[in-house]
Amino acid sequence: MSEKPVSTSTALHDMLVDAYSDESPQASPEKDDAVPPLDENLESTDENPQVEDPVEEQVADKIYLNDFATDTETEVADVYQLSVPLNDDLGDESISELKDFRIENADIVARQQEIKDKESDLAEREDQLRDVPRISNELMQARAKVMSIQDQYNGTNWDQLRVNDKQEWSVRQQEFNNAFQQAKAEEARATETVDAQSQQARQFAQDRLFEAMPELKDDSVRQEVGLRVSKFASRYGFSQTDVANIDNPNLMRLLIDVSKLDVAKEQAKQKMKDRTPKSVKPSKKPMPTTRKASLDKLKQRAMSGGKKEKSDFIKAMLT
């Protein structure tokens, strides 16, 4: 059977152990001096058996690469260039690269915890936003209850009831008043809750929008973009209030990008409209007599000469 190859990290570990292990190994007890096993059936005659003190586990001292390099007369830089196999995906990394990575990511645990906290906060806020439709239904029910009590009150002939039974008139008046005040209080609570949830939804949408488009944190930029989006949306029947109440960050990003493209399109059309084409008229300037005579001479040479004369004639024509 062939031997398994030894990895770089295993070889390095063996070198470190060999360099710093004790020179004299501990002597193992001889076989003759071995203590025979104790018979479990024999009773102990010692009334106060002595308990042996537990042996403290020895912790090996740390071994530093710089000391190892010095003791083995090796350059420290060469030791730090030794490669350590990680896995199939990551491949090999040098000790120097691993050290730099550890220094650069010293706060990686804190960063991971920060990301987890942020994800947990986002999940909690999303769960809260899911309650908005339910609370809106509660508000509609509260308003419907107020309107129902009001209709019942308006449908009662209070004048006739007062003439027939003044005591019953007084009791029913008090009952209607109490029911109406209770219904109005429920409506006020539902309205307050809906307003708070709507504000929270808008704040959540704004935070997500600022993450996707950090430039919108600037008040002047945000105001300019808001006017552009409102102008674009108004062409499709949306008012400024409709745009202001959008609580979907993805929809707002879409409107911002489309309105930007729309402005660029209009500007391009305006530039094309303002650009007046210039007609190019052929030059009627007569060719100088000396140039014409020179070209005729070069033409005659080219017709009777070789490549050089033809090349000279072409160059003269182009200049």
52-78 tens-digit pLDDT = 555 555 555 666 777 767 777 778 787
Same domain, yes or no, for 189 and 255?
no
Query: Are residues 198 and 174 part of one domain?
Result: yes
45 lies in some domain: no
Main-chain phi, psi angles of 218, to 5 degrees: -75, 130
Same domain membership, residue 160 and residue 250: no
When pLDDT is averaged across residues 102-122 and rounded to a whole number, the result is 78
Largest CA distance in the chain: 143
Number of domains in the chain: 3
Both 13 and 96 in one domain: the answer is yes
**Residues 238-261 pLDDT 10s:** 888 888 888 788 889 999 999 999
Does the structure show a pLDDT above 60 at 132? Answer: no
The tokens describing 228, both together, are 């552009």
- 82, 106, 130 — which closes off a domain? 106
Same domain as 252, residue 204:
no
For the whole model, what pTM was predicted?
0.36
For residue 295, is it within any domain? no
Whether residue 156 sits in one domain with residue 111: yes
CA-wise closest residue to 176 among 155, 154, 148, 149 = 149
The verdict on residue 319 lying in a domain is: no
User: In whole angstroms, what is the distance from residue 47 CA to residue 318 CA?
Assistant: 125
Would you state the pLDDT for residue 91? 76
Tell me, yes or no, whether 312 lies in a domain: no
Indicate whether 51 belongs to any domain. Answer: no
Last residue in a domain, options 257, 273, 289: 273
Structural domain range at position 264: 213-273
